[in-house]
Amino acid sequence: MTKLRNETWVLIADGEKALFLINEGDEKYPNLQVIRKDEQDNPPNREQAANRRGRVYQSYNHGKSAYEDTDWHTLGKERFAQDMAELLYKRAHANEFSHLVICAGPELLATLRDELHQAVTDRIVAEIPKTLTNHPLDEAEKIICADLQEQSQSA
């Protein structure tokens, strides 16, 4: 049964904001406190793209087609996930946490899984595929606890 033990770290993240929390309470009465908050300025892709998409003229035909433009917004989210993974690795290597719950949207969760080092994945006790970065902390805490209870009942 997965519960938020005392001193369990919780990462609540989306592609632009990350909250690193620690449970200062116990399993029955969790009390999540912010230990670190990271944000990145990642405007929509339309604000980051400088030019129109490139065109290529075909030599064997009279047609032309457009190059696929780089999605700077998505690249920014991937870089942010890499930064979070690196930070978690450094903290795990320093034995700053032994249990970790990751709460992120499905896409970011998948990206994080690819980036996390074994030293971090060994400490993950639960993954919650939800984006809670814009929820008040007390509401996010209730949602996380309810999801953990649901996960343990279905296991």
Residue 61 binned pLDDT confidence (cut-offs 50, 70, 90): low
Average pLDDT over residues 8-32: 93
Distance CA 133, CA 154 (A): 26
pTM over 0.95: no
Domain range summary for the chain, segments of one domain joined by +:
9-41+70-154
Q: What are φ and ψ of residue 94, in 5° steps?
A: -85, 5
Three-state DSSP class for 124?
strand
In CATH terms, the fold of domain 9-41+70-154 is Nucleotidyltransferase; domain 5 (3.30.420)
